[in-house]
């Protein structure tokens, strides 16, 4: 078995990062077997090197090696590309075609961006992994194939499984061995080595002197987060090599080639979390529970005001409760005061007294006795009772009833609808 250093030279892999070395060691170890391998890592980290290493060190090295970018094939033709089709299977199928699994029989197939496969194709792939069988599109004849499958993806497969975008059984079948390639920002010591290699290659390619970085430019190179990883580093080195006449690159010059270089010292990249209905529901429940607590506090305060004529004393003793309910919000306090008017509660620092109403016929009678409600009677029941009686006295005229209750017509309409009066 080849040594790690010879593997790096053979496949032009640069770097001595421990995580990278461990990934290469795992690839060398599983190569002689037929175990399915899933290569994970961000876009641009060089995942395509792993399946090449596995194939070249396996017993299938003399058979075909086919790399398929699953994300680049349209959903409508992916089954035909992978498994083939019969003549007349669909519009445009003018002849029988062999798919990649048939062509690569005995060899290795590398499925890049396997997370982009449609669910129907995932079912077909699972069957190949389990027993080596597949069906051509438009055919009922089962065919056999003997291929080694190495897959790669840059997505979070666990999250994709939770959202129903990737089959869980396929994931566990593919990831018998999981090889993770670290992002470039976690390989600080390798960044400058890679840049020098790329700069040297492009200098020879374009027949011009190799570019060099000044010390402060090297520090920026190491601090930058490299969201595009090795692919971005290589493209940047090529741009600088071609465009810059001065071959000794300064900090300002390098900075102009790095997008958002000023934000490279942020603590970490936070993975974007898509909106989840369950999380929104939990937040809504919390808000509702908080509102319920505030309403309970308001009821307690109201009962104290009803039972005790000394409203000034009650207000002072419950100052903290009042602040909690209103939070210094004048508009909210005005709304609550309007609701208290509906309940015929006294204004602060006033005595509770019997309220007298008059009918349109000028007949005087006393309504609202001294308010001594049982504790079980809710504020809502009081409000409904008062609204009903006001509407009766005013013969259903909502405008007059609203004026009598001291609330707006709009508020009265809303409460009539709310309580189905």
- Is the pLDDT confidence value at 329 over 90? no
Q: How far apart are CA 102 and CA 87, in angstroms?
A: 16
Confidence of residue 135 (pLDDT cuts 50, 70, 90): very high
Cβ atoms 90, 138 nearer than 8 A: yes
Cβ atoms 15, 188 nearer than 8 A: no
pLDDT the model gives residue 367? 39
Q: How far apart are CA 96 and CA 93, in angstroms?
A: 7
**DSSP states along 143-206:** EE---EEEEEESS-HHHHHHTTSS-HHHHHHHTTEEEEPPPGGG-HHHHHHHHHHHHHHHHHHT
pLDDT the model gives residue 263? 57
Give residue 356's Cα distance to chain centre.
Answer: 61
Helices (H) and strands (E) in the chain, counts: 19, 13
pLDDT the model gives residue 353? 44
pLDDT the model gives residue 395? 79
User: What's this model's pTM, rounded to 2 decimal places?
Assistant: 0.62
Instruction: Please give the structure tokens belonging to residue 368.
Output: 């609202």
Cβ atoms 108, 54 nearer than 8 A: yes
Q: Which residue did the predictor score with more confidence, 111 or 270?
A: 111
Q: How far apart are CA 67 and CA 224, in angstroms?
A: 31
Which residue reads 């390798």 in tokens?
A: 190
Return the SS3 of 214. coil
Q: How far apart are CA 172 and CA 332, in angstroms?
A: 56
Which residue reads 């008062």 in tokens?
A: 386
- Is the pLDDT confidence value at 116 over 70? yes
pLDDT in tens, 138-149: 999 999 999 999
**Averaged pLDDT for residues 373-394:** 71
- Is the pLDDT confidence value at 171 over 60? yes
Confidence of residue 417 (pLDDT cuts 50, 70, 90): confident
- Is the pLDDT confidence value at 202 over 50? yes
Q: Which residue ranges form the domains of the chain, and what is each CATH number?
A: 4-182 (3.40.50.300), 185-263 (1.10.8.60), 277-419 (no CATH)
For the ranges 44-53, 170-179, 350-359, the lowest mean pLDDT is seen at 350-359
Nearest to 31 by CA among 181, 177, 204, 242: 177
Alpha carbons within 13 angstroms on the beta-carbon side of residue 121 total: 22
């Amino acid at each position: 078995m080849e040594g790690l250093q010879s593997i790096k030279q053979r496949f032009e892999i640069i770097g001595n990062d421990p995580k990278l070395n461990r990934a290469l060691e795992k690839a060398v170890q599983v190569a002689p077997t037929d175990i399915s391998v899933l290569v994970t890592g961000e876009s641009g980290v060089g995942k395509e090197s792993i399946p090449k290493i596995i194939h070249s060190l396996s017993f299938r090295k003399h058979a075909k090696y086919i790399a398929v970018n699953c994300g680049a094939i349209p959903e409508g033709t992916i089954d035909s590309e992978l498994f083939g089709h019969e003549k007349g299977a669909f519009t445009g199928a003018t002849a029988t075609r062999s798919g990649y699994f048939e062509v690569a029989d005995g060899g290795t197939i590398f499925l890049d961006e396997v997370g982009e496969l449609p669910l129907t194709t995932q079912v077909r792939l699972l069957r190949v992994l389990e027993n080596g069988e597949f069906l051509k599109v438009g055919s009922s004849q089962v065919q056999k194939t003997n291929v080694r499958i190495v897959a790669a993806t840059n997505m979070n497969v666990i999250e994709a499984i939770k959202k129903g975008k990737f089959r869980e059984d396929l994931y566990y079948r593919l990831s018998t061995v999981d090889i993770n390639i670290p992002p470039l920002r976690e390989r600080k010591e390798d960044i400058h080595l890679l840049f020098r290699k790329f700069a040297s290659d492009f200098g020879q390619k374009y027949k011009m002197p190799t570019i060099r970085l000044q010390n402060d430019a090297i520090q920026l190179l190491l601090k930058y987060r490299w969201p595009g990883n090795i692919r971005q580093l290589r493209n940047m080195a090529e741009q600088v090599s071609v465009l810059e006449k001065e071959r000794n690159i300064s900090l300002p010059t390098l900075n102009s080639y790095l997008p958002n270089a000023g934000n490279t010292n942020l603590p970490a990249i936070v993975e974007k979390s898509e909106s989840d209905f369950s999380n929104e529901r939990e937040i809504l429940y919390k808000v509702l529970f908080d509102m319920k607590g505030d309403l309970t506090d308001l009821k307690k305060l109201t009962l104290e005001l009803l039972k005790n004529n000394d409203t000034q004393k009650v207000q002072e003793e419950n100052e903290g409760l009042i602040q909690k309910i209103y939070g210094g919000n004048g508009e909210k306090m005005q709304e609550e005061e309007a609701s208290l008017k509906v309940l015929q509660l006294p204004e602060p620092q006033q005595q509770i007294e019997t309220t007298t109403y008059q009918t349109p016929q000028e007949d005087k009678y006393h309504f609202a006795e001294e308010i001594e409600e049982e504790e079980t009677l809710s504020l809502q029941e009081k409000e409904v009772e008062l609204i009903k009686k006001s509407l009766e006295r005013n013969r259903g005229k909502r405008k007059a009833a609203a004026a009598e209750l001291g609330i707006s017509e709009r508020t009265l309409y809303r409460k009539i609808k709310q309580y189905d009066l």
